[in-house]
Structure 1
Amino acid sequence: MTEFDETDMALLRLLAEDATQSAGALGREVGLSQPAAWRRIKRLSDLGVIAGRRLDLDREALGFGVTVFLGVKLATKGRVSLDDFERAVSAIPEVQTVEHVLGLYDYRLRVVARDISDFERVLRRRIMTMPGVGDVEANVLLSEERRPGPI
């Protein structure tokens, strides 16, 4: 495992808050020149510590006011390839995350929809019609106090 010093960790925290910052701005925050900050960021990227940068969109502002977590239990694990299920469910645009989990259900999905009737349409026409889907449990998100962030 590669060792990371305080400066590496400070850069990662700053990038996690706002990945659009320039190497110069980041360097100023941590006491490095722009080239030194850029080299450290490149090294962290090359090591795979920085796996990518993504845009955080406001779902509600885009018209997706409902988020539902689905627990999905496959009915026929032996007959349905997990890879096939993952590939098929990942192709549904409203499905934001697909997590293979241990426990009562085989998968946990995060699904966004415009409203409850839109969610029902996605559930009935897209998810429940997939081969191998057995039990499904839905939990509607009421509020989100903390978004996923840096470790």
Structure 2
Amino acid sequence: MTETDATDHRILTILQKNGRITNAELAQRVNLSASACHRRVQRLEQLGVITGYAAMLDRRSLGRPTTVFVEITLSGQATELLEGFERAVRAIPDMLECHLMAGTADYLLKLVVRDTEDFARIHRQYLARLPGVAQMHSSFALRTVAETTALQL
């Protein structure tokens, strides 16, 4: 774990909520000089605590309002099978996340799609062609109750 202090945590908390904040405003909010604040942010970036900056998009306004979770069980656990699956799964469009799991499924995917027809297309073109798949179960989210990208510090 990287050494961070309370000031670093305040900086990170603010940046998670507003990555476009100016350094001057950030410095003021954490009671540092602009140069000291800039050095801290640079240090956090160099340490890999801050891995990047991104714009958060409204999926609904971009025509992808439907979230689908896909549980995948593979036919085996050989390294070659896992690596082949992981290479292939990275090519799926509209996939936001893929996690290797412990539990009933080997992988859990999170996709965003236009509708059930769009998901059927992705299923035919990509999911059904993934190597080593023994079982696949898809679940459609009815409503997102809570969602965040911010880690509690």
- TM-score w.r.t. the length of structure 1 is 0.92
Go from structure 1 to structure 2 and tell me whether the alpha carbon gap of 1:80 and 1:127 turns closer, same or farther (over 3 Å shift).
farther
- Does residue 134 of the first structure (1) align with residue 134 of the second (2)? yes
- Does residue 40 of the first structure (1) align with residue 40 of the second (2)? yes
Further displaced range: 72-81 or 46-55: 72-81
Go from structure 1 to structure 2 and tell me whether the alpha carbon gap of 1:33 and 1:82 turns closer, same or farther (over 3 Å shift).
same
Residue 120 (structure 2) aligns with:
120
Q: CA deviation at 1:78?
A: 3.3
**For 1:143 and 1:60, how far apart are their aligned partners in 2?**
12
RMSD: 1.5
Residue 5 (structure 2) aligns with:
5
Q: Which amino acid aligns with 1:70?
A: V
Residue 87 (structure 1) aligns with:
87
Q: CA deviation at 1:48?
A: 1.0
**Residue deviations 1:77-111, cap 9 Å, x none?**
33852122112111111211110011111000001
Is the Cα contact below 8 Å between 1:77 and 1:132 reproduced in 2? Answer: no
Instruction: Count matched residues.
Output: 151
Q: Percent identity?
A: 36
Further displaced range: 96-105 or 140-149: 140-149
Go from structure 1 to structure 2 and tell me whether the alpha carbon gap of 1:140 and 1:37 turns closer, same or farther (over 3 Å shift).
same
5+ residue gaps, structure 1: none
Higher RCO (Cα < 8 Å, 6 or more apart):
2
What SS class does the counterpart of residue 126 from structure 2 fall into? Answer: helix
**For 2:71 and 2:102, how far apart are their aligned partners in 1?**
11
**Residue deviations 1:15-43, cap 9 Å, x none?**
00011112111001111111111000001
Residue 146 (structure 1) aligns with:
147
- TM-score w.r.t. the length of structure 2 is 0.91
Is the Cα contact below 8 Å between 2:16 and 2:149 reproduced in 1? Answer: no
